[in-house]
Structure 1
Amino acid sequence: MVWLSVVYVLITIVGILHTIFNWKVLKMESPKGTKASKVLAYKKTEPYHPLYNIFLFPIFSYIYLVQVNPTNLYQEVLVIAISWTIITIVVDYIGWVLIKHPWYMTFKEMYIDYQPWITLVYISIFVSPFIAAYFIS
């Protein structure tokens, strides 16, 4: 859970920094009162979200697998692929849909309007331990 938490927070920070970069440096503005999830500076980062995940999740999967040093590598890989993906889906739903904050999204915004990016993010998380295992074996 430690490495999953670290990579989840890191990816969130990278996404926020990317949005801020688009807003402040590239001057991507939206009309005042635009919901955060609809702001142009954020919308332009969406295609990069799967890339953040496919780059960072394998690194943290690798760290986890090296520390655990499982006797059956691919069984452990399958367990963390499934568990990390499910945990991320649940945390996303709670943190980005259920809890109301300036960046929250409705269910439709998160799981319909955010396609194909959200699906690609979850696929990236699922395949990441397999990528890490490739470098271990």
Structure 2
Amino acid sequence: MNLGRLLVLLLVGYVIVTWIGIGHTVFNIKVLHMKSMKESPGMGEGYEKTKPWHPLYNIIIFSLLGWVYMRGLDEQTIPAALIAGAIWAILCIVVDLIGWVLIKHPWRLTFKEFYVDYQPWITLIYIAIFLGPVIGYLIVR
């Protein structure tokens, strides 16, 4: 296991999918003229319409990064992929709790909004992140 590489790839993936989601929301509001969070309840129509796409962003990005990670290992094994996926998923759960629920900012969500109202998307996202290295392993093999 190369923990440093694993964590760097997680950070890269997290930043990429976050910016894709933000960009998608902005596109919906500015180009497709959907309502923003100022004009509609919750996070706004522009954001709400992106939710079904979130697992897709994550499965694509984290599978590619899982492939990069697994390719760089001397020995690619399914246990290594499962451990990498578990580390990625657990860290994302913790970072999401801190960054999207606990820290106050304009896009902050309550615990209920993030972990209950965001179902099934948040669960599918965490599964996609967990499976990223496993899919990467399958591509390498």
TM interval, short-chain normalised: over 0.9
Matched, 1:135 2:132: no
Aligned length: 135
Matched, 1:55 2:72: no
Identity of aligned residues (%): 49
Cα shift readout 1:13-39 (whole Å, capped 9, x = no counterpart): 00000000000000002473656x521
TM-score (norm 2): 0.90
Q: What letter is aligned with 1:66?
A: R
Consecutive unaligned residues of structure 2, counting only runs of 5 or more, are: 1-6
* Structure 1: 4+ residue segments shifted above 3 A: 30-35
Q: Distance in 2 between matches of 1:46 and 1:8?
A: 16
TM-score normalized with structure 1 length: 0.93
Partner of residue 13, structure 1:
19
Contact conserved, 1:50 with 1:121, CA < 8 A, in 2?
Answer: yes
Which deviations, in whole Å up to 9, do the C-alpha atoms of 1:32-88 show, x marking residues without a partner?
3656x5211000000000000011100011111112x24252121011011100000
Distance 2:37 2:43 in 1: 10
1:136–1:31 distance in 2 versus 1, CA, 3 Å: closer
Q: Would you say the 8 A contact 2:36–2:47 is kept in 1?
A: no
Letter in 1 for 2:97: Y
Which residue in the other structure is 2:86 paired with? 82
Q: By percentage of residues, which structure has more helix? A: 1
Distance 1:74 1:32, change over 3 A: closer
Equivalent residues in 2 for 1:22-61 (5 A)? 22-30=28-36, 32=38, 34=40, 37-61=42-66
CA distance in 1 between counterparts of 2:31 and 2:123 reads 29
Note the residue ranges of structure 1 that are not aligned, 5 or more in a row: none
Q: Is residue 124 of structure 1 aligned with residue 128 of structure 2?
A: yes
